[in-house]
Amino acid sequence: MRINKYLAGCGVAGRRACDKIIEEGRVKINGKVCKLGDEVKENSDAVFVDGQRVSMKSKHQYYLMNKPKGCVCTVKDDKGRKTVMDFLPAGVGRVYPVGRLDYDTEGMLILTDDGDLAFRLTHPKNEIPKTYLVRIEGTVGETELNKLRGGVELDGKTTGKSNVRIVETDKKFTKLHVTITEGKNRQVRRMFESIGKNVDFLKRIKIGDMGLGSLERGKVRKLTAEEVFYLTNI
């Protein structure tokens, strides 16, 4: 298989973009910098891009959902509530949500049968940044925001540092972007509760630098090969 086709199949980029990456000398086959037109043996050659080994996309399934409020991030719910699985289109095999957004939280959710990716995105040691759009009642001052940024105590432990910035405000409400690298239960809501603020809207808008794009609330689509590559190497 031609190297550009192989890289595209790995989700590195489209073929034309892969050609440029090859021309820049960023691709090696078995330790040797390759050139346009080189062939790859899928089952035996080791291919690296910028020092990171890549391989052809597996047969795993990967989906992106814009989770709505009013459903839970489980495969089944013993209380009879609607779950995120109810929004999957017909024909989707067995997948499960990666991490959780609570019942009243909406936004970006990955569903897959790839356990390695799920572990990578959720394990605290990997510190994968996740960004939320938060709306609170009233206003908030820099002193309070700095408390959030430096970490607050939840369940007897101090949360990690977070990035918090105001994006819109008036006397009735304030909207903020909050980026955290942990995933404690109801963490963002509880962080604001710790400074006496009530969150009345919460939406995850990014995992790393990857966002929802134009995906509508309650809709689901397959991840592209490029998106899968990004998430597995973030």
Residues assigned a catalytic role = 102
Residue pair 108/212 in contact (Cβ under 8 Å)? The answer is yes
Cα-based distances in Å from 51 to 43, 225, 226: 19, 19, 17
Residue pair 66/44 in contact (Cβ under 8 Å)? The answer is no
Residue 19, helix vs strand vs coil: helix
What distance in Å separates the CA atoms of residue 147 and residue 97, rounded to the nearest whole number?
Answer: 31
**Which residues have a Cβ under 8 Å from the Cβ of 76 and sit 6 or more positions away?**
83, 85
For β-strands 106-112 and 199-207, DSSP reports them as parallel
